Amino acid sequence: MEISLRFANTADLKAINERYAEIDFVPSHNDELIILASIDEKIVGQGRVVGIDANSGELGGIYVFPGNEGLGIARKVVDFLIKNSDFSMLYCLPFAELEGFYGSMGFAAVKDMAQVPEAVLKKHEWCNSNYDKPVLLLERNKRISIKKPPQKAVAEFKPAIYRSMVDEYFYILLRRSFIGFHKIFRFKIFNNHICMLFFRRSNGYRK
């Protein structure tokens, strides 16, 4: 059973908000990043990232439609939202029982409340005042982690193919953090060390 994901468009908004109304969620708007999950072309879940300011957004609205639980839909939706969000910082306000799930997706308790946007703090306070279950305030900083390719794999390729393999390796690794900006980084390797960094836009390469 394959779960497919796509970006929502304006035509989807009415159905999206009808679904959110079922669980008393705040309606979505056109300027949000909304993801729809489907199985056999039938929509089975949705989620969104709402912009807070230029650098941060709130990930939420994760809703797996009744009868589709336990299929890994929520994990795929959250992962897709993280990878496709332009924001360097994502906040999330889940019920405490979901801490383990969001922790496995890279979220952790906020370290410095003074850095949290006021809108997020107010929403967190409102949630804990109006829900009968505790609501957490989590954050995820989309930092880049760079690793070397496996040494065994490097040794088995000729130089030209090796460069291609390295490019692909780092392309996949970094595109996950910068997909929203359409930025791709390439590295040249000499004696297994990064010695040159290229920044690629859609119109070519630039040192």
Predicted confidence pLDDT, tens digits, the chain (207 residues):
899 999 999 999 999 999 999 999 999 999 999 999 999 999 999 999 999 999 999 999 999 999 999 999 999 999 999 999 999 999 999 999 999 999 999 999 999 999 999 999 999 999 999 999 999 999 999 864 444 455 544 444 344 433 444 444 343 333 433 334 334 444 444 444 444 443 333 333 333
Taking the C-alpha atoms of residue 39 and residue 80, their distance in angstroms, rounded to an integer, is: 16
Per-residue confidence (pLDDT) for residue 150, from 0 to 100: 53
Per-residue confidence (pLDDT) for residue 143, from 0 to 100: 64
Cβ 37 vs Cβ 77: under 8 Å:
yes
CA angle 73, 78, 84 (to 5 degrees): 125
16: left (phi over 0), alpha (psi -120 to 50) or beta: alpha
Residues 6+ apart with CB under 8 A from 65: 19, 43, 44, 45
Per-residue confidence (pLDDT) for residue 3, from 0 to 100: 96
Per-residue confidence (pLDDT) for residue 1, from 0 to 100: 81
3-141 to CATH, choices 3.30.1340.30, 3.30.530.20, 1.10.1370.40, 3.40.630.30? 3.40.630.30
Taking the C-alpha atoms of residue 187 and residue 168, their distance in angstroms, rounded to an integer, is: 10
Residue with structure tokens 């009808």? Answer: 18
Per-residue confidence (pLDDT) for residue 134, from 0 to 100: 97
The structure tokens listed for 83 are 């990878």
Per-residue confidence (pLDDT) for residue 142, from 0 to 100: 81
Sequence ranges of the domains in the chain: 3-141, 151-206
Which pTM was predicted? 0.69
Per-residue confidence (pLDDT) for residue 161, from 0 to 100: 36
Taking the C-alpha atoms of residue 101 and residue 107, their distance in angstroms, rounded to an integer, is: 9
Residues 6+ apart with CB under 8 A from 174: 144, 146, 183, 184, 185
